[in-house]
Amino acid sequence: MHNHSPVFYRDLNAVPPSIVRGEGSYLEDASGRRYLDASASAGVVGIGHGRSEIWDALAAAGDKVTFVYNATFTHPWQEELAGRILAMAPSNMAGVYFTSGGSEANESAWKLARQYFVERGKPQKYKAVARWLSYHGVTLATLSLSGRTSWREIYSPLLLPVARVAPPYEYRCRICGGGRCTLACADDLERTILMEGPETVAAFFAEPIVGTTAAGLTPNPGYYRRIREICDRYDVLFVADEVLCGYGRTGHPFAISGWDVAPDIVTLGKAIGSGYAPLGAMVVSEKIREVFAAGSGRFVHGLTYSGTPSACFVGNRVHEIMSREGLFTRGAEIGRYLEAGLRALADRHPAIGDIRGRGLLWGVEFVEDRETRRPFDPKVGFTAKIVSHMRVNGILVAAGIPGINHGQGGDHIQISPPFTISESEIDVLLDGLDEALKRYG
């Protein structure tokens, strides 16, 4: 039976509960039910819910907030936020282009990479390479980049060809065969660039720590250095998609800093606006800026809402709160508490096969047999049972979809709470997961 809401919901058969209030790590729906939002609502709400000081500040600035079209004017809030982001970005970064979210940021990045090579007199370099078990967005170009098979299938006639390399999935590595990691998955990038023809490849896209498709995949310490070397060898730009894992989520302002590697472009979203404004960004390196400056001097691209004043205003207030409360790095410490709790659960529950992640971005993968790492049959719906049991008990975690890439990825949940989450709230989350695993594990 279809609902009669005026909203065209993603699932027409299930109108989600209406949330009327949020505070800290909690959401409250219209019936008064409270939920511990251990997913930070798709990893967005870094500073926590219900920060009324943001709305108070916006109201106080009401006489100054007006829309400015970025091709004609700039405004102080955009300049200020860009300066703040650059001040904490890898030192090779030199400019920020704002968007309304992550898909737009990644789409902009691919276009920028293509134009970069046109500016350099190499117009045949336009292709992007990406990884399996990756998510870069829903627009046709960013879905083309994404190795999220279940979301691609229906649109496959419309997608752009993107060569795809092995993900750094140590728990189910099909290249090193369960032995010691040899970085063969990174070398798969070199093989692929050579097969495509290095003269045609413009950019490699990767989430430094994988989110949605396989929650928490964290490559080993040498991985991104190897990726950087390969990109340099073949004159390919390295785009770090930090839409989910960036802006404090891993305990660093930029997740890639954890590997001490400088990408050419970093994309941001989610926590940068923390849900108080739709905001994303593409952070561009000096190397690219110089080529544009010496060339046409103009990025052939334009989003009406790039640098929207109200969104940048909110972005500045989010940045202030994050700086004041140490939230750009708090994830490192509180993340250790969360990790220890998850590992203790794994000792008790054989259905937990793998725990991976960093800071406040964790994936917990479930298996039917821990010894052989055999996943549950997708028909069992194990993750769905765990997630819905926790939800009934007022705890929200994100479900990874079993068999999401034809069996490449297992059943898993993603835990990505607000950066403000307390130890006692983490205890509530862990107890909830414990309880669900006792019931179904």
Token representation of residue 149:
């098979």
Beta-bridged to residue 237, according to DSSP, are: 203
Rounded least distance, CB 32 to ligand PLP, Å: 29
Rounded least distance, CB 303 to ligand PLP, Å: 12
Closer to ligand PLP by CB, 208 or 375: give it.
Answer: 208
Token representation of residue 21:
């209030």
Closer to ligand PLP by CB, 167 or 280: give it.
Answer: 280
Phi and psi at residue 205, to the nearest 5° = -105, 135
Rounded least distance, CB 205 to ligand PLP, Å: 9
3-state helix, strand, coil in the chain (%, to 5): 40, 15, 45
In the set 119, 188, 190, 241, which binds ligand PLP (CB under 6 A)? 241
- Using the contact rule CB under 6 A, the part of the chain among 98-106, 172-180, 412-420, 421-429 near ligand PLP is 98-106
- Using the contact rule CB under 6 A, the part of the chain among 27-35, 102-110, 181-189, 347-355 near ligand PLP is 102-110
Q: Does 136 bind ligand PLP (CB under 6 A)?
A: yes
Q: Does 248 bind ligand PLP (CB under 6 A)?
A: no
Closer to ligand PLP by CB, 43 or 341: give it.
Answer: 43
DSSP at 12: T
Q: Which residue is nearest to ligand PLP (CB)?
A: 102
Beta-bridged to residue 59, according to DSSP, are: none
Site string for ligand PLP, 194-233 (x = CB under 6 A): -------------x---xx---------------------
Place of tokens 């979210």: 101
Q: Which residues from 270-309 bind ligand PLP, rule CB under 6 A? A: 280
Rounded least distance, CB 400 to ligand PLP, Å: 12
CB within 8 Å of 119: residues ≥ 6 apart? 291, 292, 294, 295, 296
SS3 string, 255-297, reads: HHHHHCCCCCEEEECHHHCCCCCCCEEEEEEHHHHHHHHHCCC
- Reported as type and span, the H/E element at residue 238 is strand 237-241
Amino acid identity for residue 47 in this structure: I
Residues forming contacts to ligand PLP in the complex (CB under 6 A) are: 42, 101-103, 106, 135-137, 207, 211-212, 241, 243-244, 269, 280
